Amino acid sequence: MHPPSYIDLQVNGAFGVDFNDDALTFEAFHGACQRLQADGVVGFLPTIITDSIESMCRRIRKISEFAKQDKMLEECILGIHVEGPFISPVSGFVGTHPAQHVRPASLSIALQLIDAGQGSVRMLTLAPEQDESGEVTDRMRREKVAVFAGHTDASRSQLQRGIDSGLVGFTHLGNGCAMQVHRHDNIIQRVLSLRGQLAITLIADGVHVPGWLLKSWIDILGYENCIVISDAMSAAGMPPGEYRISGQPIQVDSDRRTRHREHGYLAGSASTMSDMDRWIHHHLSIDELRCKHLFQKNAIDLLGRIGA
Ligand SMILES: [Zn+2]
């Protein structure tokens, strides 16, 4: 197994700590980051998900301030990933994000969110159909924020327009997607048809996407275009039980399936990067070099391309 030095572009929490919790303390955050480091994560993006703009800004500000208070945090926090609120409100595509806080992209709100991070927001996941003009995508690119499509049912032309405006990736392919879609013209096939133009993040826990399908997508997209993310929530690294993401109750069973207690949708993962590394080694035949690309190199290259 390659020496663990994972880069994780999407971490909502871990080891019993929810980064979207308003009661998050410096000590709890620091402790979770230490345990992520011990798990082999050398750099990651704490992720703030859809909520009221005030709540999102408050959480972004808090984490960016925490990161400045400690050398270890400064080193391992590569920035903040904001997932929402400019995503699809449609059931299935919205996933477990609170639909009442989802909205069309707005430049002034996007600037408010990145201002709250004082330069630390490095990634934004939005639905291209919520940014039809491409104005927010283009401005974020100029602000050195990597814009990813996700929680979206964008048409092929909306995706292509997004790419023309600066879209660089697609967040957790196969998730944030309705259970039933058109047999040909669906979001997964559209993204596969645009391969080479987008970096694709994948949750490799064996729960979010079946192993055979994950392997098939990596083969089609090319391992140099795929990035493994944990999309971890507070249950990652913890025993089965009930956990929270942004106040929502999530039940985790013994096979690490994360289910929203009310509607049953998957809500983040209960796996850490080392869990995913072990899972890939046991279930998929992917060699060391390719794993290094999936777990580290491609994410570093992507953030490097976006700029400091
Ligand atoms: Zn998501």
Q: Residue 134's pLDDT band (boundaries 50, 70, 90)?
A: very high
The answer on pLDDT for 308 being more than 60 is no
Q: Classify burial at 27, counting beta carbons within 10 Å of its beta carbon; exposed 0-12, middle 13-18, buried 19 or more.
A: exposed
Distance CA 273, CA 71 (A): 22
Radius of gyration of the chain (CA): 17
**Residue 87 alpha carbon to ligand 1 centre in Å:** 10
**pLDDT tens across 213-241, in order?**
999 999 999 999 999 999 999 888 888 88
In this structure, are residues 129 and 154 in contact, taking their beta carbons and an 8 Å threshold? yes
In angstroms, the first-to-last Cα distance of the chain is 31
Q: Which tokens sit at 270? A: 């209960």
Contacts of 89 (CB under 8 A, 6+ apart): 99, 102
**pLDDT tens across 157-170, in order?**
999 999 999 999 99
Distance CA 229, CA 202 (A): 6
**What pLDDT is recorded for position 261?**
78
**pLDDT tens across 136-192, in order?**
999 999 999 999 999 999 999 999 999 999 999 999 999 999 989 999 999 999 999
Mean pLDDT throughout 60-78? 96
Distance CA 46, CA 58 (A): 14
**Residue 265 alpha carbon to ligand 1 centre in Å:** 11
**Residue 3 alpha carbon to ligand 1 centre in Å:** 28
**Residue 155 alpha carbon to ligand 1 centre in Å:** 19
- The pairing of strands 241-245 and 121-126 is unpaired
Q: Is the pTM of this model over 0.85?
A: yes
**What pLDDT is recorded for position 1?**
47
**What pLDDT is recorded for position 3?**
58
**Residue 190 alpha carbon to ligand 1 centre in Å:** 18
Enter the DSSP assignment of 248.
E
**Residue 234 alpha carbon to ligand 1 centre in Å:** 14
Q: Classify burial at 211, counting beta carbons within 10 Å of its beta carbon; exposed 0-12, middle 13-18, buried 19 or more.
A: middle
**pLDDT tens across 242-295, in order?**
888 878 888 888 878 878 877 777 788 889 999 999 999 888 989 889 999 999
Helix (H, G, I), strand (E, B) or coil at 187: helix
Q: Classify burial at 285, counting beta carbons within 10 Å of its beta carbon; exposed 0-12, middle 13-18, buried 19 or more.
A: exposed
**Residue 176 alpha carbon to ligand 1 centre in Å:** 6
Distance CA 153, CA 62 (A): 32
**Residue 83 alpha carbon to ligand 1 centre in Å:** 7
